[in-house]
């Protein structure tokens, strides 16, 4: 067999040996992952594992200390968050960030620039009925749809989702994840951060597990879904041997 050709550049997001610090302490240490376009890549880990810190390093909300981030083949780790957003990156932060005093439609309009907001109402028809309601009066699930919609009106190619499911009923999370699945099927690269694994693993392709700032697993969601014991050991810390 001859020499293997070099791998083609990945369309989507690629992170290599990324270290992200907070208050000069390394919280994420030399983490690497690949999230291809058209797929949901799932990032798991217990509370405090460093998932949010890693996502913030990718979006630029927190500066990175070292390592590389590549977006559709372009290096972005030294770019400002707004420049990363212009290149197609969107970050839905933990905690349903919506303007509570604006209506649903106004929330979309302030994020949309010149883009049309109707495509978001098509993705979430339940919000069309709440178009003129103040976002602060919506249910938790509807507010999370608004937070997601605010990211989607900018038509991102790469979507970072931090704990969409937090505090929501399973039926609502299923609805949100179905919409996220549709987005990925339309070609968007999705990196889904979750603390509660089951539903995420049911919609995702690749999976990564972070523990105390280090990546301790890289594989398929199906593999983790089929082996809850493995996930438990990865979470708790006796599974480098098992991985
Ligand atoms: N500003 C800060 N300064 C120092 N340490 C911090 C700071 N913010 C977070 N940390 C610590 O960094 C670690 C990782 O936090 P992070 O929020 O990234 O984890 P996470 O996996 O997203 O957890 P959660 O699911 O609770 O959000 C935690 O131990 C946390 O206490």
Look at residue 1 and tell me if it is in a domain. Answer: no
pLDDT in tens, 54-111: 999 999 999 999 999 999 999 999 999 999 999 999 999 988 789 999 999 999 999 8
pTM (2 d.p.): 0.90
State the average pLDDT for the chain: 91
Does the C-beta of 53 come closer than 6 Å to ligand 1? yes
Q: Residue 10: what pLDDT?
A: 60
Q: How many CB atoms lie within 10 A of CB 228?
A: 12
Q: For ligand 1, what atom is nearest to the CA of residue 195?
A: 25
pLDDT in tens, 153-165: 989 999 999 999 8
Query: Looking at the structure, do residues 82 and 180 belong to the same domain, yes or no?
Result: yes
Query: Looking at the structure, do residues 163 and 227 belong to the same domain, yes or no?
Result: yes
Does the C-beta of 41 come closer than 6 Å to ligand 1? no
Averaged pLDDT, 234-242: 66
Query: Which neighbouring-strand residues pair with 217?
Result: 209
Does the C-beta of 228 come closer than 6 Å to ligand 1? no
Does the C-beta of 67 come closer than 6 Å to ligand 1? no
Does the C-beta of 23 come closer than 6 Å to ligand 1? yes
> Which among 187, 133, 83 has a CA at the least distance from the CA of 145?
133
For residues 31 and 15, the answer to whether their CB atoms sit within 8 Å is yes
CATH number of domain containing 47? 3.40.50.300
Query: Looking at the structure, do residues 77 and 177 belong to the same domain, yes or no?
Result: yes
Better pLDDT: 182 or 9: 182
Averaged pLDDT, 214-226: 96
For 146, the domain range is: 97-155
ipTM: 0.92
Better pLDDT: 241 or 207: 207
Query: Looking at the structure, do residues 102 and 54 belong to the same domain, yes or no?
Result: no
Query: Looking at the structure, do residues 101 and 52 belong to the same domain, yes or no?
Result: no
Query: Looking at the structure, do residues 135 and 188 belong to the same domain, yes or no?
Result: no
H-run or E-run covering 106: helix 104-112
H-run or E-run covering 28: strand 25-36
- Percent pLDDT > 90 in the chain is 76
Look at residue 130 and tell me if it is in a domain. Answer: yes
Residue ID of nearest Cα to ligand 1 atom 29: 48
């Amino acid at each position: 067999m001859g020499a293997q050709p070099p791998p083609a550049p990945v369309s989507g997001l690629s992170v290599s040996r990324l270290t992200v610090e907070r208050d000069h302490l390394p919280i994420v240490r030399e983490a690497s992952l690949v999230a291809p376009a058209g797929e949901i890549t799932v990032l798991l880990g217990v509370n405090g594992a460093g998932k949010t810190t890693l996502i913030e390093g990718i979006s630029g909300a927190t500066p990175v200390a070292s390592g590389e981030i590549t977006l559709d083949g372009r290096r972005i780790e030294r770019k400002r968050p707004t420049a990363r957003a212009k290149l197609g990156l969107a970050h839905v932060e933990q905690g349903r960030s919506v303007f509570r005093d604006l209506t649903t439609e106004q929330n979309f309009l302030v994020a949309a620039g010149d883009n049309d907001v109707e495509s978001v109402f098509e993705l979430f028809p339940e919000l069309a009925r709440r178009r003129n309601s103040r976002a602060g009066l919506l249910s938790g699930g509807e507010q999370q749809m608004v937070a997601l919609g605010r990211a989607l009106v900018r038509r991102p190619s790469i979507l970072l989702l931090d704990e969409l499911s937090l505090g929501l009923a399973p039926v609502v999370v299923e609805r949100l994840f179905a919409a996220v699945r549709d987005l990925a099927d339309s070609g968007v690269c999705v990196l889904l951060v979750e603390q509660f694994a089951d539903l995420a693993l049911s919609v995702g392709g690749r999976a990564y597990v972070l523990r105390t700032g280090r990546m301790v697993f890289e594989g398929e969601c199906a593999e983790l879904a089929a082996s809850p014991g493995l996930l438990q050991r990865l979470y708790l810390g006796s599974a480098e041997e098992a991985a």
